[in-house]
Amino acid sequence: MKNKFIQHFGGHVKFSSECKTHFHRLYYTTRDCSTPAYYKRCARLLTRLAMSPLCMQS
C-alpha cells in the first residue's frame, strides 16, 4: 500500500546508483515513510531527493 500511495503523489521516480543509499535511508528508516499518516510527506521527500543536485549527476 505504501508504494502505491507514494507513486500516486510523487509519480514514478528513478534514482541513480549514487542516490540509492539515500533513498533506502529515507524510505525504510524515517517516520514519514513508515507511518501511513505521513505517506504524502514521504512522497514529497523522495521527489525532492530525486531532483537534488546529488542525484541529478550521472
Tell me how far apart the alpha carbons of residues 53 and 1 are, in angstroms, rounded to a whole number. Answer: 29
16 phi, psi to nearest 5 deg: -75, 170
Higher-confidence position of 30 and 3: 30
17 grid coordinates: 546508483
**Does residue 38 sit within a domain?**
yes
Amino acid identity at 39: Y
First to last CA, the chain: 31
**Does residue 9 sit within a domain?**
no
pLDDT digits (tens, 9 = 90+) for 7-38: 766 666 777 788 888 888 988 999 998 898 98
Tell me how far apart the alpha carbons of residues 32 and 46 are, in angstroms, rounded to a whole number. Answer: 10
**Does residue 5 sit within a domain?**
no
**Does residue 47 sit within a domain?**
yes
Q: Which domain holds residue 43?
A: 18-57
Average pLDDT over residues 30-50: 89
Higher-confidence position of 4 and 36: 36
49 phi, psi to nearest 5 deg: -65, -40
Structurally, the chain folds into a number of domains equal to: 1
